Structure 1
Amino acid sequence: MFLVLSETLEGSGGLFDINATLPLMALQVVLLTFLLNIFFYSPVTDVLDKRDAYISDSLTSATSMLDKAELLSSEYEERLVSARQEAQDILTSSKDEAQNTVRLEVEQAQKDTQKLIDESTKQLNIQKDLALRTLQDQVDVLSEQLKAKILAA
């Protein structure tokens, strides 16, 4: 049975038979390629193109936002450095002003103290002179009284 079957197969043209089946198969391949192009490859290509465009836009947007964030960060860093420097300047200025005020008040207190000492010394000298004059007058009076008693005796 295999012999009969193999003879019928070989007798009809061998491995490649050129008949109406070959052009029909070629037409099916072309039609399948055309239909796959329309219904599968084009939509898939469109989706892939849209995905690439979305990724590209997202990447561009992210890069732009990153650049903007870096710019803002550097700007804020500069402002922070400036604010710190300004605070340090204000602190130094306030410290200098406070030291100057304290120095002036100490000088004024020293002047007032010196003035008070001078006035007290002057008052004491006046009182001393007055006491000396009073004492001198009393010594003179006592001398006169003693002289009068000695001469009267």
Structure 2
Amino acid sequence: MLKLGWDLVFTIINLIVLYLLLKKFLIGPVTGIMEKRKALIASSLEDAAAQKNQAQEMKQQYEQSLAASRLESDEIVARARIDARAEYEQILKDAGVQAGQIIENARKSVEAEREQALREMKAQIASLAMDAAEKVTAGKAGAELDQALFDQFITETGDGK
């Protein structure tokens, strides 16, 4: 059987003292270190979650900025097209005006040349009429009659215009 002696009592006391010493110097500090480690890990996880949220917000801001940039570039392109169309139409209008001016100038030039040709033809006809009248009168009337016939011819041909 079991003997209860002083050896057993000392062994139990030694075990209790050993347990208290281990609890004081080993288990307590290890538990404290583990708690600190647990708190550090929890803090790191919170920081990681905060950084993830911040990254999501930055991504949303980037996407919004990108969408705004696309809209702005579309507006710039649309304005450029409108400006180009207006300039194109203005160039066409100016070209039409210039063409009209050229045509009008050509008409005026043709009309002036026509008037000049008519005057020259009248002068030639008057000269021919004078020559014919001189031959008909055979030099009887003189310079005054010639001038009167010429004036009469000019007024008649001028009115017939």
Question: How does the TM-score come out when normalised to structure 1?
Answer: 0.81
Q: Determine the structure 1 residue equivalent to 2:51.
A: 65
* Correspondence for 1:115 among 83, 101, 104: 101
Q: CA RMSD in A?
A: 1.9
Q: Determine the structure 1 residue equivalent to 2:150.
A: none
Q: Determine the structure 2 residue equivalent to 1:38.
A: 24
The alpha-carbon deviation at position 130 of structure 1 amounts to: 2.3
Aligned residue pairs, count: 139
* Correspondence for 1:84 among 40, 48, 70: 70
Q: Determine the structure 1 residue equivalent to 2:13.
A: 27
Higher relative contact order (CA 8 A, sep 6+): 2
Question: How does the TM-score come out when normalised to structure 2?
Answer: 0.77
The alpha-carbon deviation at position 147 of structure 1 amounts to: 4.5
> 1:18 corresponds to which letter in structure 2?
L
> 1:143 corresponds to which letter in structure 2?
A
> 1:86 corresponds to which letter in structure 2?
E
Identity of aligned residues (%): 24
The alpha-carbon deviation at position 116 of structure 1 amounts to: 2.3
Structure 1 unaligned segments of length 5 or more: list them.
1-13
Matched, 1:74 2:60: yes
* Correspondence for 1:94 among 80, 94, 98: 80
- In the TM superposition, structure 1's runs of 4+ consecutive aligned residues that sit over 4 Å from their partners are none
Q: Distance in 1 between matches of 2:69 and 2:132?
A: 91
Q: Determine the structure 2 residue equivalent to 1:4.
A: none
Structure 2 unaligned segments of length 5 or more: list them.
140-161
